[in-house]
């Protein structure tokens, strides 16, 4: 084997990743462009709102409340080593709003919505329904992709806001009922500690994560291979890509908002 073979393999892998990133970027720009150009499909948009927003509330709420409660217990346990148990309300609030709320909601949306979108569109491709849309002079990007991307862009920030509130409420219940905190003092410390940029950053992250989740589901669904195996690969690849990109976007957005 040539001594440069490992470098060649690494180079091909890097080029493949960059090419994929370029294709996804062009796909996302095209999808966002179709959001603002007629014709519009309000029924598809309404169904996407229902799927992405309302039907995701249970899993978002349960994830947030248990995370907030566990976070309160962990902070209290760690703070007790330094006689700093009183910081529980502040750290729960900032942890949920800045990081855990948006990231957990984004990952839940990636698991639930991205996989659903990818499987649905990939199945439509396998059964030639997308070809039928083209035959009927209906643009697949406008009919299938744009409504789902717009729905995720609008609803995921709302889900993040709900998740933040429920997570803080979970920490409040644990702190008051189990750790002996005064309810009024806990709420006052929570409200006083949060800043407007914390809330804004949480909502902006929600919009970014929702867009990423929807675009990944649509992209991998549209690029699916034929047959059941192709649908499975598209679904798996969409969730993996969405999760990684959400975590990467979280790092970049956190640096943008809080490192200035």
Residues 59-96 have pLDDT tens digits of 999 999 999 999 999 888 887 777 777 888 888 999 99
Pair 30, 131: CB distance under 8 Å: no
- Residue 146's pLDDT is 93
Tell which wins on pLDDT, 6 or 23: 23
Q: Please give the share of the chain, as a percent, with pLDDT higher than 90.
A: 54
Mean pLDDT for 109-125 is 92
Please give the Cα distance from 256 to 110 (Å, whole number). Answer: 23
Per-residue pLDDT averaged across 43-56, rounded?
92
For 142-173, what is each residue's pLDDT tens digit? 999 999 999 999 999 999 999 999 999 999 99
The answer, yes or no, to whether residue 2 has pLDDT greater than 70, is no
Of the pLDDT bands very low, low, confident and very high (cuts 50, 70, 90), residue 204 is very high
Give the mean pLDDT of the chain. Answer: 89
Q: pLDDT at position 1, please?
A: 60
Rounded average pLDDT over 207-222:
94
């Amino acid at each position: 084997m040539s001594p440069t073979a490992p470098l060649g393999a690494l180079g091909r892998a890097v080029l493949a990743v960059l090419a994929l990133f370029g294709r996804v970027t062009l796909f996302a720009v095209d999808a966002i462009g179709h959001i603002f150009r007629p014709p519009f499909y309000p029924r598809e948009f309404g169904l996407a709102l229902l799927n992405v927003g309302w039907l995701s509330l249970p899993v978002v709420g349960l994830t947030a409340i248990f995370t907030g409660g566990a976070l309160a217990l962990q902070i209290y346990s760690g703070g007790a080593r330094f006689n700093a148990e009183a910081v529980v309300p502040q750290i729960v609030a900032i942890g949920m709003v800045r990081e855990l709320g948006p990231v957990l909601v984004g990952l839940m949306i990636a698991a639930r919505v991205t996989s659903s979108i990818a499987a649905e569109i990939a199945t439509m491709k396998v059964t030639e329904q997308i070809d039928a849309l083209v035959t009927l002079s209906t643009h697949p990007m406008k009919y299938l992709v744009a409504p789902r991307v717009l729905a995720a862009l609008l609803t995921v920030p709302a889900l993040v806001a709900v998740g933040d509130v429920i997570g803080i409420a979970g920490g409040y219940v644990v702190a008051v009922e189990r750790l002996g905190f005064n309810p009024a003092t806990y709420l006052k410390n929570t409200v006083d500690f949060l800043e407007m940029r914390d809330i804004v950053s949480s909502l902006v992250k929600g919009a970014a994560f929702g867009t990423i989740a929807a675009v990944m589901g649509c992209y991998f669904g549209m690029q699916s291979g034929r047959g059941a195996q192709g649908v499975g690969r598209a679904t798996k690849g969409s969730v993996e890509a969405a999760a990684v990109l959400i975590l990467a976007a979280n790092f970049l957005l956190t640096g943008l908002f809080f490192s200035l």
